[in-house]
Amino acid sequence: MSNTITIDGNTVPFEDGQTIMEAATAAGVYIPHLCHHPEFTPHGSCKLCTVNVNGRNCSACTFPAMEGQNVLNNTRELTDDRRKITQMLFVEGNHLCPGCEKTGNCQLQAVAYHLNMLDNHFPHFYPSRELDASHAEVMIDHNRCIFCTLCVRASQQKDGKDVFAISGRGLNKHLIINSQSGLLKDTDLEATDEAAHICPTGAILIKRTGYQVPIGERIYDHKQIDQVSLETEHPRHGE
Amino acid sequence: MASKIRVATTSLAGCFGCHMSFLDIDERMLQLAEVVEFGRSPINDIEHCTNCDIGLIEGGVCNSENVHVLREFRKNCKILVAVGACAINGGLPAMRNFIPLEECLAEAYLDGIGVENPQIPSDPELPLLLDKVRPIHEVVKIDYFLPGCPPSADVFWKFLTDLLDGREPSLSYELVHYD
């Protein structure tokens, strides 16, 4: 434990092989993120965890912690950048919270709340995206997919299956489903799979469970995502 | 006595839910009325927005009349505020954006269940629909945003009292909701 970095001026220890995100989480420092999950290989795609390391911006979830790093995390400039990134995620898909059953439990929404995002700033794309309700217990609303690949990784790395993948590039990027028909019902996905529960937004939902907890009593209705994230993603900080 | 701050309000492609929530400030309305008078608003039925300090806009933009009203507000209000989910991102009315306008009209007026004397309304007094429902910041410059479906009465109160007291308006975590 001789290795240390500083985050916003505070000394944070790290172990060899840890990323900045891992070192920060272990020390109880929240770095906003959506595509990162401690159980799975980092993907570095959502860019919300952008931090400044010795003057250069990089993704905390993929960047290795190294001796002598001076990391800026909670600064006005980075918060502004992260708010812009979140606004872009909102206008790129169709995120209409009042009509989404994930509202209040949604990490995309919670990060936006955390960043005090009051508007979407950019012109809306309103892309045309499909909904797949073919599976008996799980549904996919592609309107809400942010391509974080957590379902892809969870299916491969935890469930030992290969149900999801990302296909296409840029505006044509989309989540595809590994079956001849392209429908969820023809895959081996089960409602108990990690991949069916890991979605940070309302894109993958378990049917008939959406309103079991009333709006107003949900995870992020009264608790900020920084607190929830540290409690759930690192046991040392749990209750 | 200093002249009162003039506030105008309107609902474009909205459901008046935000206006109802505004009225939920209840007895605080009397406090507000001491320093504020209303210009154009469904509350008083004044038809045009003239010379106002604050304009509160509920709802997105779905037809040509919405565009005219929104521009009138921008021209006549020093501060223009997007109130509620629909004004900010189109909201639930924007769910029609994924269906061609012709199909929407056919479903509502020609092929829908229980439609009698099917015809698409074409009275010249009816404003023409836009091909997509748009948030208002895509049409005019907006100064402040109050998210929520609807924003709670406390959001209206916090925002207006901040502004009236000369503070930069800010909403705490508990007051920011998109649902």
Is B94 in contact with A126 (Cβ distance < 8 A)? yes
| Helix A76-92 and helix A107-114, axial crossing angle in degrees, nearest 10 | 140
Stretch B162-176: mean pLDDT: 96
CATH architecture of A4-81: Roll (3.10)
Is A118 in contact with B145 (Cβ distance < 8 A)? yes
CATH architecture of B5-95+132-175: 3-Layer(aba) Sandwich (3.40)
Is B137 in contact with A119 (Cβ distance < 8 A)? yes
If DSSP codes are grouped into helix, strand and coil, which group holds residue A171?
A: helix
- Residue that has been written with the tokens 């995620």 in this structure: A89
Is B85 in contact with A98 (Cβ distance < 8 A)? yes
What is the pTM for the complete model shown? 0.95
| Of B85, B138, B144, Cβ closest to residue A123 | B138
Chain A residues lying within 8 Å of B154, measured CB to CB: none
Is B178 in contact with A126 (Cβ distance < 8 A)? no
Stretch B132-159: mean pLDDT: 98
| End-to-end alpha carbon distance in chain B | 41
Is B137 in contact with A121 (Cβ distance < 8 A)? yes
Would an 8 Å CB–CB cutoff place B93 in contact with chain A? Answer: no
State the nearest Cα–Cα gap between A149 and chain B, in angstroms.
Answer: 25
Q: Chain-centre distance of CA A42, in angstroms?
A: 11
pLDDT, tens digit only, all 239 positions of chain A: 579 999 999 999 999 999 999 999 999 999 999 999 999 999 999 999 999 999 999 999 999 999 999 999 999 999 999 999 999 999 999 999 999 999 999 999 999 999 999 999 999 999 999 999 999 999 999 999 999 999 999 999 999 999 999 999 988 999 999 999 999 999 999 999 999 999 999 999 999 999 999 999 999 999 999 999 999 886 554 43
Chain A residues lying within 8 Å of B132, measured CB to CB: 126
Spatial separation of the C-alpha atoms in residues B88 and B58, rounded to whole Å: 9
Assess whether pLDDT exceeds 90 at residue B1. Answer: no
CB A96 within 8 A of CB B91: yes
Taking only the tens place, the pLDDT of each residue in A111-130 is 999 999 999 999 999 999 99
Would an 8 Å CB–CB cutoff place B151 in contact with chain A? Answer: no
Q: What is the pLDDT of residue A171?
A: 84
Domain ranges of chain A: 4-81, 101-227
Taking only the tens place, the pLDDT of each residue in A169-209 is 988 999 999 999 999 999 999 999 999 999 999 999 999 99
State the nearest Cα–Cα gap between B84 and chain A, in angstroms.
Answer: 10
Interface test with B, best of A89, A126, A211 (most B CBs within 10 A): A126
Q: What is the pLDDT of residue A235?
A: 56
Spatial separation of the C-alpha atoms in residues B146 and B138, rounded to whole Å: 16
Alpha-carbon distances of A168 from A164, B18, B70, rounded to whole Å = 13, 40, 39
The DSSP symbol for B108 reads: I
CB B14 within 8 A of CB B70: no
CATH topology of domain A101-227: Alpha-Beta Plaits (3.30.70)
Is B171 in contact with A124 (Cβ distance < 8 A)? no
Q: What is the pLDDT of residue A167?
A: 97
Chain B residues lying within 8 Å of A221, measured CB to CB: 177
Global ipTM: 0.94
Domain ranges of chain B: 5-95+132-175
Taking only the tens place, the pLDDT of each residue in B55-108 is 999 999 999 999 999 999 999 999 999 999 999 999 999 999 999 999 999 999
